[in-house]
Amino acid sequence: MPILRPMNAPAPQAPIGVFDSGIGGLSVLRALQAELPHERFVYLADTGHAPYGERGDAFVIARSHAIAAWLRRAQGIKALVVACNTATAAAVHALRQRHPALIVVGVEPALKPAVAVTRTGRIGVMATRGTLASAKFAQLLQSLQGQAAFALQACDGLADAIEQAAAPGPGAEDKQNALKIEALCARYTSAMGPFGTQTGALDTLVLGCTHYVFAQEVLRRLVGPDVQLVETGAPVARHTRRRLAQAGLLAPDDAPGALRLFSTGDPARLHAAAVRWLQAGVDAAEAVALPTGDSPGCVSPSLGPGPA
């Protein structure tokens, strides 16, 4: 029996909106593209207002509403993936309430998958201060009480350092950025306690911010080859596929797939990061101005009514 969609519902050919405070959500987008190669994606990096992890909930909620409204109005999205742990924790419930007809998928630190793979029962969690302080994270942690011991670490400055390293610069600047990321990772992993497979050690590390996926090589060197690094991209992509299939909104199997990139900051930085981490042909990113709020005036007139 065919799935019946309400009148004015988006078509399967409509794009999927993905947003983050910056380039970290590209790690989720990469998994989405691998899982859903026939889909059109619109990625928005809110780098003009980053980082979210060290902002208050009210600010993050306002930004999330403005972005969701623009993606619906100007891009005609059929689903929204909030590819940011901080924005998910602060705003995903409000987004679902305001857009009840829209598929809204959030991300959360992968504590449940980590519990499934730990052998020592001790798990490190790296996340932003905003994520760790959120009610949503507290509920997640409470739901796993007694199943493992978690060492929680707020990683101030790490997402921003990864953001700054996204685009190649002069050699000295690149080296300075790399050294800063390494120093921050070393400080935060050391603060959590010993890593390893011996009794009492942390044998699993949750990357609780989408930016941290792009520091995996550094973290691997610091915690050792036997520690499992757990992130959320692939589970989120599989869940998005299930939601689209249930709604009859999967793109046709012969659709070519596409990607448009937008940034509220420097579009060249986003483009450089996408070229580096998506490992595929990527068109230039476009600039967009989205003032806080979601009135029609928030759409930059230079972008026109929507995608071609």
User: Is 90 exceeded by the pLDDT of residue 7?
Assistant: no
Q: State pLDDT tens for residues 109-129.
A: 999 999 999 999 999 999 999
What letters, b where the CB count within 10 A reaches 16 and e where it falls short, cover 34-70? ebbeebbbbbbbbbbbbbbbebebeebbbbbbbbbbb
For residue 152, pLDDT beyond 70:
yes
Convert the pLDDT of each residue in 213-246 to its tens digit. Answer: 999 999 999 999 999 999 999 999 999 999 999 9
Amino acid at 226: D
pLDDT at site 172? 60
137 CB-side CA count, 13 A: 25
State how far the Cα of 296 lies from the Cα of 137, in Å rounded to an integer: 33
pLDDT tens-digit series, residues 264-293: 999 998 998 998 888 667 899 999 998 765
Domains of the chain with bracketed CATH: 16-107+234-303 (3.40.50.1860), 111-231 (3.40.50.1860)
β-pair partners for 261: 43
Let me know: does 11 contact 39? Beta carbons within 8 Å: no
- Amino acid making up residue 97: Q
Residue range 154-179: mean pLDDT, rounded: 80
Distance between CA 109 and CA 194 in Å, rounded?
A: 21
In tens, the pLDDT along 173-228 reads 678 888 999 999 999 999 998 999 999 999 999 999 999 999 999 999 999 999 99
The two structure tokens encoding residue 285: 């990113």
pLDDT score, position 280: 64
Active site residues: 84, 209
